[in-house]
Chain A
Amino acid sequence: MDSAKGPACKKLSLYGSEFDSRFLIGSAQYPSPAILLDAITASHAGIVTVSLRREAGKDGAGQQFWSLIQQSGARLLPNTAGCKTVKEAVNTAHMARELFDTRWIKLEVIGEDDTLQPDVFGLVEAARILCAEGFQVFPYTTDDLVVADKLLAAGCEVLMPWGSPIGSGRGLNNPFALRALRAHFPDTTLVVDAGIGLPSQTTQAMELGYDAILLNTAVAKAGDPVAMARAFAQAIEAGRLAFLAGAIEARDMAAPSTPVLGSPFWHSEHEQ
C-alpha cells in the first residue's frame, strides 16, 4: 500500500517529490490577493499553479504577484496557458523555467477556443521536446488512451486528463474513459485537471483511483472561496480514503444488510 508509485501509495508523488495533499490549486480569478492566500491555506494544497504575463511597467503587477505568491510557501507549477502552437508552448516553458526557477511545467497546447480542448498532436510534440530538454512535464490532456500512451513515451511521468472543459464546472464528463485510463496505466500518476465544479465531483474522481485533483475556478469564483477550498480538501481526502478502503460492487437487485438467518417470524409466516 505504501509503494513509491501508483494509486495506492500514501503520499502524492510527482517527479520524485512527495506531497501530503492531493489537491493542486490554481491562483487565478480570486476576489483579492488576501482571499487567494487564505484559500491556499484552507486548501492545504502543496502546489499552486501560476502563469506568465506581459509586464507593463516598473513595479508592475507581475512583481507584486511574485511577492504575494511566495508567501504561500507552496511549490509553484507554471503553465503555458494560452499557447496554441508547439513553438509558443516550448518558448513559454523556457521563460517559465527561468522565471520560476523550476523544471516543472504544466503543458497546455490549446486546439479549440470554445472548449479549450488540448491540441493533442501539438501537446505530444511539445512534451517530447521539453522532456528531452530536462523539463518535468505535466501535460493537460484529454482522456484519450492512445494520446496518454504517447505522452508517456515522450517522457511524461504524470498525466493530467480533463474532467470537462476548463472553467465549465461540469465535473467528470466521461467517467468511463477516466476509469479506463486508470486501469490502463495503474502505475502512472494521474491528475484530473479542469472542469470541476463541485467537491463531490472530486470525490468521484478520487474514488476512481486518481492520484490528485487540479482545480481553480470552482474555488476562486465560489461565494466564499476560502470555505470552498476547505470543502474541496475534505472531499478529495474522502475520495482517496474510499478508494483505499475498497468500494463494494454495484448490483441491480437488493441484498439485505440485516442477517435473515434466525429471524423469528417472517420465514414461517410466508411459508403458511
Chain B
Amino acid sequence: MKIQLNGASHDTEHPDLAALVAALGHEGDKVATAIDGLFVARQNRSQSPLNEGCAVEIVAPMEGG
C-alpha cells in the first residue's frame, strides 16, 4: 500500500507502525511517531495499523530555539 512517510510517498506492506519503524531501522532509535497528525506512543505502535494513504510521521531530536 501507499502511505505518506514524513511527507513523501512510500510503499509498504507492513501492517502496523511498529513493523514500519523496525523496517526503517529506527526500532532502538530516539524517535517519536504520529499517524494522521495524532501522536502514537512507543508502546502503542504495534496496535496502530497502517492504512492506504495514511500519513506517518517519524521525528527525532533536533536543534531548536
Contact = CB atoms under 8 A, between A and B. Distances in A.
Interface in B14-65: 24-26, 29-34, 37-39, 41-42, 57-65
Nearest to B27: A58
B64 A51 contact: yes
Contact of A63 (B29, B37, B57): B29
A98 B32 contact: yes
Which of B25, B29, B33, B62 has the largest count of A CB atoms less than 10 A from its CB? B62
Interface residues of B, number: 25
A62 B30 contact: yes
Contacts of B9: none
Contacts of A81: 64-65
A55 B64 contact: no
A198 interface: no
B63 A27 contact: yes
A54 B7 CA distance: 9
A118 interface: no
A95 B62 contact: no
Contacts, number: 114
Contacts of A121: none
Contact of B65 (A87, A95, A166): A166
Contacts of B41: 94, 98
Contacts of B64: 26-28, 49-52, 78-79, 81
Contact of A58 (B7, B26, B34, B65): B26
Contacts of B24: 57-58
A144 interface: no
A220 B59 CA distance: 24
Interface in A89-136: 91, 94-96, 98-100
**For the complex, would chain A's binding face be called helix, strand, loop or mixed by DSSP majority?**
mixed
A267 B47 CA distance: 92
Contacts of B60: 52-55, 60-63, 65-66, 99
B63 A98 contact: no
A95 B6 contact: no
A116 B34 CA distance: 25
Contacts of B42: 98
A87 B61 CA distance: 20
B23 to A, nearest CB: 11
B65 A55 contact: no
Contact of A95 (B29, B34, B63): B34
A215 B7 CA distance: 30
B62 A53 contact: yes
Given A99-B32, A99-B59, 7 more contacts: A27-B63, A29-B63, A50-B63, A55-B6, A62-B59, A69-B63, A91-B34
10 contacts: A29-B65, A50-B63, A52-B32, A52-B60, A53-B62, A55-B31, A60-B60, A95-B57, A98-B32, A99-B61
